[in-house]
Structure 1
Amino acid sequence: MFNQSGGLQTGTSTTSNPMQDYEVVSPPDDSISSLAFSPACIPQNFLVAGSWDCNVRCWEVEQSGKTIPKSMQSMAAPVLDVCWSDDGTKVFMASCDKTAKCWDLASNQSIQVAAHDAPIKTCHWIKASTYSCLMTGSWDKTLRFWDLRSPKPALIINLIERCYCADVDYPMAAVGTAGRGLIVYQLEGSPREYKSVELNLKYQYRCVAIFRDKKKVPAGFAIGSTEGRVAIHHLNLSSKENFTFKCHRTNGTPNGYQDIYAVNDIAFHPVHGTVATVGGDGTFGFWDKDARTKLKSSEPMEQPITRCCFNHNGQIFAYAVSYDWSKGHEYYNPAKKNSIFLRPCFEELKPKASP
């Protein structure tokens, strides 16, 4: 059960499910681009996933680990990101068709709420003290902020390059761009640039996640690159608190070379503050950034892990197994199915006790 400690597992270990985790029924038909659990204000756990098959699906996740498909919405092109409204009544969907839509779950209808001049890569709902809006980041090199009552953006911020990844934890937003740009924004009052950050990473940024300090205040971020490395960056502490670590690399090739894979996604545990990474090597890793230690690593899946997320109370870790296209279309194998797995994770992500 998700709300109990202990080792209840389901099924037998197979090459497609080596960790014997709960498998979500009726998964997407193409690569999975985005995952998000419903917010804490909803008593049930709902999971939404966006896919390159142009659809966004929603499941209810029961305490037993069983998943029930609830509904699906389609867009005109592949879906690149999804997020929830703070009250759990709506899901926002960002697409390669240059639009973002708002899916009202009660009526099961969706309407367009945002538009860009190029595909929209990221979408995040911002619930501030004085306003609420949708933030979209696009390959047209802009961030746009949308009051849902108006068809025009309330604010446009120009980026130095295409938006590749973003995270929001009010009052902070972190945005990674092509060309290894990383800009932190202050969202209080009106969104504005706080600082541009130079990081000790030599390769393209692929994912970013904001973390909180011991007072539960957003304090910095982790960013993953295409060369199997994560940078931990604190915004207001001395630079010696910042570090990078290697992950999603395989040793032991006969010629002594190391296979290096992209870090595809990062998620912080909402209770413990520990962190999960998933990569192109088909594994997930759990880490304690404060102790700078690894807590757990998974067996490799048959395909890369493209996305991951925790539910609101940190009992469930969801991860999506599908091709990430890092080796080009010639390595795509349609015979390998896409999967989303759910893992009871609360105990595994507890920080190690200090000696």
Structure 2
Amino acid sequence: MSLFGAATTTTPATIANNTQGDLSKDVELTSPPEDSISDLSFSPQSEHLAVASWDNKVRIYEISETGQSMGKALYEHQGPVLSVHWSKDGTKVVSGGADKAARMYDLTTGSSQQVAAHDEPVRCVRMFQAPNAGEMLVTGSWDKTLKYWDLRQQQPAATVQMQERVYTLDVCQGLLVTGTADRHINVINLASPTTIFKTIQSPLKWQTRVVSCFPDATGFAVGSIEGRCAIQYVEDKNANMNFSFKCHRETPSSGIANVYSVNDISFHPTFGTFSTAGSDGTFHFWDKDAKHRLKGFPSVNGSIPATGFNRNGNIFAYAISYDWSKGHQSNTPQYPTKVMLHPIKEDEAKPRPVAKKR
């Protein structure tokens, strides 16, 4: 069986009390970016991975069944690239950057073009299926706006004013969620894309770093710079299911906790479980329904700024590079910059069976 083939099964005896994950089978991506990695995204149709970097480039890799990788394409922005995402059919990659632009690369023609513009850096990009309008692009910027783009037109189809700079956004089915400065979280029903359905203050007390929608679009997870994650449901009737928890912290012998940023949250495409990754150089898999940690992995000896599962959920990619969480003085030439591919074992990300009551 290939390294990245079907998920490996384990016996109940293996699962018992085995929450420590294994990194020994992880494979390094060839020819990684030359500067810090900001985002990565798997194709929804094939084993291709797009990686965005502060070296102004987006690289697209092809991943083989054995976990080997080969560079397939590269295109550039005029500034650091901050976000990357795929079209539904897997033929196009979109990206946003500090050059205040979003670009689209067509894998069939090998060409890229600018498809969106803002007054400030474009922090987030997502492709989505718009009701009765086909596939569209949404961009979130530090200019405090959200813009929707029909890629056949040069001007935005619509603009939505945000309260503050957009730091993060995600889309799943008809749900769009943005996280801005000052801890505002906006929920939008894409059936009415220009209307903010609900605005809440983040349940976490510190700056929002990432929002990520549940695969069933009933809610979203929030990660903050202060080592916490929150699970939030959209509908008020499910408010009793909302909760938050501490993660990416360590308490040394001094008893004073070291707290790290939660940099990314990724949901498994079939199991609905999720990962968190942080500035402490660790990632963990969680079951939100059971409020349980499935696996915790040892430090990878560098901050993890971005993560993602592939379309089948049998590969977990995580970037290792400096995330500036400790200021410029910690950004040394020796700091690693790479992307690792972790083969998912079934017990790592699969929800635990619910114990039957006697």
Question: What's the TM-score bracket when you normalise by the shorter of the two chains?
Answer: over 0.9
1:168 aligned to 2:167?
A: no
Contact kept, 8 Å, 2:159 with 2:194, in 1: the verdict is no
Please give the secondary structure, in 2, of the residue aligned with 1:239.
helix
Q: 1:23 aligns with which of 18, 23, 28?
A: 28
CA distance in 2, matches of 1:99, 1:128: 22
Q: 1:119 aligns with which of 111, 118, 121?
A: 121
CA distance in 2, matches of 1:320, 1:91: 19
Q: What stretches of structure 1 move > 3 A for 4+ residues in a row?
A: 17-20
1:295 aligned to 2:294?
A: yes
1:34 aligned to 2:34?
A: no
Residue number in structure 1 paired with 2:239: 239
Contact kept, 8 Å, 2:131 with 2:190, in 1: the verdict is no
Contact kept, 8 Å, 2:231 with 2:242, in 1: the verdict is yes
The aligned runs of 1:173-252 (5 Å cut-off) are 173-188=176-191, 190-212=193-215, 217-236=216-235, 237-251=237-251
Deviations 1:157-206, CA, capped at 9 Å, x for gaps: 00000000000012110000000000000112544211012332100000
Q: Which runs of 5+ in 2 are unaligned?
A: 10-21
Residue number in structure 1 paired with 2:340: 341
Q: Report the alpha carbon displacement of residue 128 of structure 1 after superposing the two structures with TM.
A: 2.3
Q: Which runs of 5+ in 1 are unaligned?
A: 8-16
Please give the secondary structure, in 1, of the residue aligned with 2:329.
helix
CA distance in 2, matches of 1:234, 1:19: 36
- Residue 275 of structure 1 aligns with an amino acid whose one-letter code is F
CA distance in 1, matches of 2:338, 2:272: 26
1:306 aligned to 2:305?
A: yes
Contact kept, 8 Å, 2:23 with 2:342, in 1: the verdict is no
The aligned runs of 1:35-74 (5 Å cut-off) are 35-39=40-44, 42=45, 44-74=46-76
CA distance in 1, matches of 2:178, 2:7: 36
Please give the secondary structure, in 2, of the residue aligned with 1:117.
coil
CA distance in 2, matches of 1:238, 1:109: 46
CA distance in 1, matches of 2:158, 2:335: 43
Identity, % of aligned pairs?
A: 44
Q: Report the alpha carbon displacement of residue 255 of structure 1 after superposing the two structures with TM.
A: 1.8
Report the TM-score, using the length of structure 1 for normalisation. 0.93
1:283 aligned to 2:282?
A: yes
CA distance in 1, matches of 2:295, 2:240: 25
CA distance in 1, matches of 2:250, 2:23: 17
Deviations 1:123-175, CA, capped at 9 Å, x for gaps: 00111231121100000000011111111111000000000000001211000
Report the TM-score, using the length of structure 2 for normalisation. 0.92
CA distance in 2, matches of 1:18, 1:345: 10
CA distance in 2, matches of 1:103, 1:308: 21
Higher relative contact order (CA 8 A, sep 6+): 2
Residue number in structure 2 paired with 1:10: none
Residue number in structure 2 paired with 1:106: 108
Please give the secondary structure, in 2, of the residue aligned with 1:179.
helix
RMSD of aligned residue pairs (Cα, Å):
1.5
Q: Report the alpha carbon displacement of residue 345 of structure 1 after superposing the two structures with TM.
A: 1.3
CA distance in 2, matches of 1:127, 1:299: 38
Q: Report the alpha carbon displacement of residue 101 of structure 1 after superposing the two structures with TM.
A: 0.6
